[in-house]
Amino acid sequence: MKRKIRVGSRESKLAVVQSEMIIQELKKLHPQLEIELVTMKTTGDKILDRSLDQIGGKGLFVKELDRALLDGEIDLAVHCLKDMPMETPEELPILAYSRREDPRDVLVPAKGKENWNGQGVIGCSSFRRRIQLQKLYPDAEVRGIRGNIQTRLQKLDSGQYDVLVLAAAGLKRLGLEERIERYFSPEEILPAAGQGILVVQGREEMRELVKELQPEEMEVIAENERAFVRRLDGGCSSPVAAYGRIQQDELVLTGLYYEEDTGNYVIATKRAEVRASAHLGWELADELRTKH
């Protein structure tokens, strides 16, 4: 009999597509395995009438899957890294980071409202995006929006918003790239830490099974982005952002720090050789906090 591995996922279409991407990669690496997808609705998917910071942050998207892992109902869970709490349970480590999809944020206009003029209502789910959009589009109103991508697009096309700002990665994975009107460079809107990266989480004994899913450079990028946010006590709903990339043999890390007292934010970049970059996220966070 084939050994069976159960992979847990949220029920949303995007979550299922992303989990199936990981499953296909695992099947190529381990054709002898039988791999089953197990979906479940999380608390974060059920409560849609309040913002995430009001109901406990994006950790609400993972706790049911954490419980299923601990109870042995599933063997692995697939998440978007940007939806992961900054602290993960010691008994449920992140086992592998995926190849990164496009990390940028994008502008999506309502059907029939292409070539948007910068006025009207922007639908946006995160404080991080909100504060950066207010500088880019001072004449627009930024209004909160919840729900999966399809729900948000329905709200957009029904006239509740003029445009949305979403992650490019999700739209591309769902085959909705044609809805994108504009890509924001990281200099215009700095992405959330981990944006575009999928993670496989599970018990330590599963690490060997999934280790080949991870490109060589992804761990140092992802962990420095998360270290920057963690150092500033930012959760995944916090107006803190970080984006790392490898240039030749250096890790280049850009971070955003929001000053609650003034309502302003600052962005800075720091670099280090990859082999000596273990503490780059912490160092950049400390520099920004000390200077500002």
Looking at the fold, whether 114 and 169 belong to one and the same domain comes out as yes
pLDDT band (50, 70, 90) for residue 64:
confident
Pairwise CA distance, residues 218 & 214, whole Å? 7
Pairwise CA distance, residues 191 & 225, whole Å? 10
Looking at the fold, whether 11 and 91 belong to one and the same domain comes out as yes
pLDDT for 128-165, tens place per residue? 999 999 999 999 999 999 888 999 999 999 999 999 99
14-26 mean pLDDT: 96
pLDDT band (50, 70, 90) for residue 29:
very high
pLDDT band (50, 70, 90) for residue 61:
low
Residues taking part in catalysis: 83
pLDDT for 179-238, tens place per residue? 999 999 999 999 999 999 999 999 999 999 999 999 989 999 999 999 999 999 765 556
pLDDT band (50, 70, 90) for residue 23:
very high
Looking at the fold, whether 19 and 63 belong to one and the same domain comes out as yes
Looking at the fold, whether 94 and 228 belong to one and the same domain comes out as no
Looking at the fold, whether 253 and 274 belong to one and the same domain comes out as yes
Contact, 142 vs 133, CB < 8 A? yes
Looking at the fold, whether 139 and 234 belong to one and the same domain comes out as no
What is the number of other CB atoms lying within 10 angstroms of the CB of residue 218?
A: 20
Looking at the fold, whether 235 and 208 belong to one and the same domain comes out as no
As a whole number, the mean pLDDT across the chain is: 90
Confirm whether 149 is domain-assigned: yes
CATH of the domain at 264: 3.30.160.40
pLDDT band (50, 70, 90) for residue 51:
very low
Confirm whether 265 is domain-assigned: yes
Give the pLDDT confidence score for residue 291 in this predicted structure. 74
Pairwise CA distance, residues 169 & 191, whole Å? 11
Confirm whether 190 is domain-assigned: no
Looking at the fold, whether 152 and 22 belong to one and the same domain comes out as no
Strand partners, 106: 166, 183
User: Could you give the number of structural domains in the chain?
Assistant: 3
Give the pLDDT confidence score for residue 24 in this predicted structure. 97
Token reading at 111: 């059907």
pLDDT for 234-271, tens place per residue? 655 568 899 999 999 999 999 999 988 788 899 999 99
Confirm whether 53 is domain-assigned: yes
Pairwise CA distance, residues 153 & 240, whole Å? 26
Find the radius of gyration of the CA atoms of the chain.
19
DSSP string for residues in 178-231: GG--EEPPTTTSPPPTTTT-EEEEE-GGGHHHHGGGS-TTHHHHHHHHHHHHHH
Confirm whether 281 is domain-assigned: yes
Token reading at 2: 């084939």
Token reading at 254: 């850009």
For the cut 90, the answer to whether the pLDDT of residue 116 exceeds it is: yes
Residue 19's alpha-carbon distances to 78, 98, 101, 233, in angstroms, are: 6, 11, 14, 29
Give the pLDDT confidence score for residue 41 in this predicted structure. 75
Confirm whether 188 is domain-assigned: no
Give the pLDDT confidence score for residue 49 in this predicted structure. 47
The sign of the CA dihedral 290, 257, 78, 178 is negative
The sign of the CA dihedral 135, 140, 141, 146 is negative
Give the pLDDT confidence score for residue 48 in this predicted structure. 46
The sign of the CA dihedral 172, 174, 180, 183 is negative
| Domain containing residue 60 | 1-100+196-214
Which of 242, 201, 241 is closest to 224 using CA atoms?
A: 242
Please report how the helices 280-291 and 218-231 are oriented relative to each other, as an axis angle in degrees rounded to 10: 30
Which of 200, 284, 187, 195 is closest to 29 using CA atoms?
A: 200
CATH of the domain at 128: 3.40.190.10
Looking at the fold, whether 3 and 95 belong to one and the same domain comes out as yes
Confirm whether 191 is domain-assigned: no
Looking at the fold, whether 83 and 41 belong to one and the same domain comes out as yes
For the cut 80, the answer to whether the pLDDT of residue 33 exceeds it is: yes
Confirm whether 189 is domain-assigned: no
Residues 6+ apart with CB under 8 A from 158: none
For the cut 80, the answer to whether the pLDDT of residue 5 exceeds it is: yes
pLDDT for 70-103, tens place per residue? 999 999 999 999 888 888 889 999 999 999 999 9
Looking at the fold, whether 209 and 79 belong to one and the same domain comes out as yes
Contact, 226 vs 278, CB < 8 A? no
Looking at the fold, whether 87 and 210 belong to one and the same domain comes out as yes
Say how far residue 116 (Cα) sits from the centre of its chain: 26
